[in-house]
A and B are shown apart, each in its own frame.
Chain A
Amino acid sequence: MNSAQIEIQLIASLVAIACAIPGTFLVLRKMAMISDAISHSILPGIVIGFFITHDLNSPLLILLAALTGIITVVLVEYIQKTGLVKEDTAIGLVFPALFSIGVILIAKNANDVHLDVDAVLLGELAFAPFDRLLISGVDVGPKSLWIIGSILIITIILLIAFFKELKVSTFDKGLAASLGFSPAIMHYGLMSVSSVTTVGAFDAVGAILVVALMIAPAATAYLLTTNLKKMLSLAIIFGVFSAISGYWFAHWLDASIAGSITTMLGLLFLVVYLFAPKKGIIAVLYREKQQRTEVSLLTFLLHLKNHNEEEERHVNHLNEHINWQKVRSKTVLELATKNNMISIENNIVSLTEKGNDFTSQAIDYIITNEDAQIEHMKDDFFLFRG
């Protein structure tokens, strides 16, 4: 590993951390698509900033572009407030228009601008170490490392300083407002941090892939935990892991680093999406299947309680009476026997005492709709648990 490789991985990891922090809050606040909108609509800001400064790494350009990001948010909110279209339509209208303006600005001034739409959108991490920051002639490291480093430090300071406020306003806007934290300030603060991070990172990973680094680690972490601090740290870990493994994947494949970081993020999400212990697809499908069986069991017990006639309770007739397939009836019968709810004599099913109690409680449970009244029963009913 030479020094350029280390620097690239360092930059990628810092970008991943800087994105994961605001990304977590965006995902929790259901504003993930705003980050997509910002990442597109900063283009005109970058172009205009570039006309003025002629330097893609100048702080003025970053500020101008971040300002465009905030303008996007304000525009979206304004359009939404008029009530003419829904929020998602407002987002979908604003950013392509701003992006188009950016593309046209670049195209019209192609001769005097060394700026390429591809470069803005996709970035090229491999070149980042070659753009050095010189302070009085001394090489102190790549420019983008400094930029993203300072953005990250500011983000972390803000996060620590306003963690409590952010947490409250994310989960309970009303409570936050009544406690005296202005939700608007929190909102625009978060939007500004997201914009600045997007601009700072576009140079390294490209504007669109910033979105991946913001949303994917946070979404993956959200499938694993419901604790904000754990979610933040998991998102950061996932981000850094994908950044470093993505770099080596790209190295091996000789392809775009940003693309392969995203691919790693995607694979990570896919694995968690499938196998997360509680919220993964497999767990959810298994739970749904179990719940279906449990509901069937309840229906079956209710049926037994309602009918004293022997022919209604004959094992062979169950299929017709409750309209079940053979396999399903068998599962339910077995489950009921295992729980000592029924006894079978001469192929006639009858409720045991335990089964009878359970069924009467179940009827109570079903007909009482108020949560408070059935609270003490909840523990008995495995099917309604989680």
Chain B
Amino acid sequence: MDLQEYFSLVFSDYTLRTITLGTAVLGAVTGMLGSFAVLRKQSLLGDAISHAALPGIAIAFLITGAKDSNTLLLGALVSGLIGTFWIRGIITKTHLKSDTALGLILSLFFGFGMLLLTFIQKQPNANQAGLDKYLFGQAATLIESDVWMMSIVTGICLIVLLLFWKEFKILLFDADYTKTLGFNTKFIDILITSFIVLAIVLGLQTVGVVLMSAMLLAPAAAARQWTNSLSVMVLLAAFFGAFSGVFGTAISASQNNLSTGPVIVLVAAVFVIFSFIFSPSRGLLFKQIRFIKNRRDLQLHKTLAFMYNIAETHDNISHPHAIKILNNFQGYTKGTLQKLVKKNYVNLDGNMWSLTEEGFNTASNLYNQQTNE
């Protein structure tokens, strides 16, 4: 199946439609909430939570013995929340730093989850196969009820986000000020963190434990480059996330042997790279261009100042001088001289140059400008 075929089938084929919708909704909600995670410097929390959710899945299966995805996700949610609050406890109550706390909870919970999974696999129960899809995710196992579930959660997220928008925003940028205003910062904090956990848990089935953190970060990190406004960033991140979901699904469906999760992550990574390079205000490309332009301007100014120093020693500022005397000067090239002529600062006459009135005035104000401002 190639891409064209995919897009013609996406509306008619049940499986394709479900998967595409599912990944799109998932991308949108993780992008939205990921913006908050990135701005709160909790980027790696997503990684820790997604790993910490694994034992919850295993325990939920052990208790119920059923593979109903909603029950399993409930277990994942509980164990993800326990992990999150334990991380918080370690950071606030001991002198261990956040990175240690994250790595610790991540690896310990994951290891415990693996122990339980291998334990389950040895059980004399035919029902356990397929639990390991939560490790790497299998978008193909999405069914309509999963998509409904995702949509409902996304809806709730949206409502809560709109209701508490002001609180979230102020907590994000100035936590101390929020406290002095009398907001219950603890409650707002727990609310937003819980929703981040919820979004991560939702994505486990689709992209898996290992890659979930990228779903949270990549759209937000890409969106951050294009704007300085929180609302625009959240919208953009949701859009990037949804688009990565759809496009990733399309690519993986059009090829054999390509699992959806990694492809979605790579599409999102392409978004990030593109944004890093081409964003007009923060991007590397334009930054480099501005840098070069500034350097050129400085060199131009240097040449002009040098000329000014020579012209100053003569009564007539337009007294012609040989170009040769500029040769040993660092900022001088043929190009810069041409540029000065174009700006009408300098007149050229054969091998001689002379400053114009305008050039002389500009040069004399060159270094004063900054102090006058």
With A85-B38, A89-B221, A96-B265 as known contacts, state yes or no: A265 contacts B108, CB within 8 Å: yes
Q: Is the CB of B214 within 8 A of A92?
A: yes
Separation in Å of the A119 CB from the closest CB of chain B?
A: 12
Q: Do most interface residues of chain B lie in helix, strand or loop, or is the interface mixed?
A: helix
Q: Contact partner of A84 among B44, B116, B225, CB < 8 A?
A: B225
Number of interface residues of B (CB under 8 A): 61
Contact A101 B266 (CB under 8 A): yes
Q: Which residues of A contact B114 (CB under 8 A)?
A: 122, 209, 256, 258-259, 262
Which of B115, B217, B284 makes the CB contact (< 8 A) with A93? B217
Residues of B within 8 A of A222 (CB): 95-96, 100
Q: Within 8 Å of chain A (Cβ to Cβ): is B263?
A: yes
Across the interface, which residues of A come within 8 angstroms of B112, CB to CB? 259, 262-263, 266
- Cβ–Cβ contact A36 & B106, under 8 A: yes
Are A212 and B257 within 8 A (Cβ)?
A: no
**A240 on interface, CB distance cutoff 8 Å:** no
State how many angstroms separate the Cβ of B209 from the closest Cβ of chain A: 9
Q: Which chain B residues numbered 226 to 274 have a C-beta less than 8 Å away from chain A? A: 257-259, 261-263, 265-266, 269, 272
Q: Which of B86-94, B305-313, B343-351 contacts A (4 or more CB under 8 A)?
A: B86-94
Q: Are A97 and B43 in contact (CB under 8 A)?
A: no
- A234 in contact (CB, < 8 A): no
Selected contact of B43 from candidates A92, A269, A280, CB within 8 Å: A92
Report the minimum CB–CB distance from A371 to chain B (whole Å): 20
Are A208 and B107 interface neighbours, CB within 8 A? yes
Count residues on chain A whose CB falls below 8 Å from chain B CBs. Answer: 63
Nearest Cβ on chain A to B88's Cβ, whole angstroms: 12
Given A103-B136, A269-B108: A284 and B115 interface contact (C-beta under 8 Å): no
Q: In the complex, which residues 86-130 of chain B have their Cβ closer than 8 Å to any Cβ of chain A?
A: 89-90, 93-97, 99-100, 102-104, 106-119, 122
Q: Which residue of A31, A265, A281 is within 8 Å of B99 (Cβ)?
A: A31
Contact with A along B336-372 (1 / 0, CB 8 A): 0000000000000000000000000000000000000
Contact A215 B211 (CB under 8 A): no
Are A208 and B104 in contact (CB-based, < 8 A)?
Answer: no
In the assembled complex, A35 has its CB within 8 A of some CB on chain B? yes
Closest to B272 in A: A93
CB distance from B114 to the nearest CB of A (A): 4
B214 touching A30, Cβ below 8 Å: no
Q: How far is the CA of A382 from the CA of B19 in the complex (A)?
A: 64
Query: Which of A103, A218, A253, A269 has the largest number of chain B CB atoms within 10 A?
Result: A103
Instruction: Flag if B119 contacts A255 (CB, 8 Å).
Output: yes
CB pair B89–A281 under 8 Å, yes or no, is yes
Residues of B within 8 A of A32 (CB): 97, 99-100, 102-104
Residues 6-34 of chain A: 1 if any B CB is under 8 Å from the residue's CB, otherwise 0?
00000000000000000000010011110
B100 adjacent to A96 (CB under 8 Å): no
Within 8 A of B (CB), among A274-293: 279-281, 284-285
Q: List CB contacts (< 8 Å) of A69-102 with chain B.
A: 79, 82, 84-86, 88-89, 91-93, 96-97, 99-101
Is A260 located at the chain interface by the 8 A CB criterion?
A: yes
Closest 10 CB pairs of A and B: A262-B111, A259-B115, A96-B214, A212-B107, A100-B262, A259-B114, A256-B118, A266-B108, A32-B103, A255-B119
Of the A-B pairs whose beta carbons lie under 8 Å apart in the complex, a sample of 26, sorted by A's number, is A30-B97, A31-B99, A36-B106, A84-B284, A85-B38, A89-B217, A92-B216, A92-B217, A93-B218, A101-B262, A108-B257, A117-B136, A118-B135, A208-B111, A216-B108, A223-B96, A254-B119, A255-B119, A255-B122, A256-B117, A259-B115, A260-B115, A263-B112, A265-B111, A279-B95, A280-B94
Q: Which residues of B contact A (CB under 8 A)?
A: 38, 41-44, 46-47, 51, 89-90, 93-97, 99-100, 102-104, 106-119, 122, 132, 135-136, 210-211, 213-214, 216-218, 221, 224-225, 257-259, 261-263, 265-266, 269, 272, 276, 282, 284
Other contacts beyond A91-B44, A103-B259, A209-B110: 4, CB < 8 A? A30-B97, A33-B44, A211-B106, A266-B109
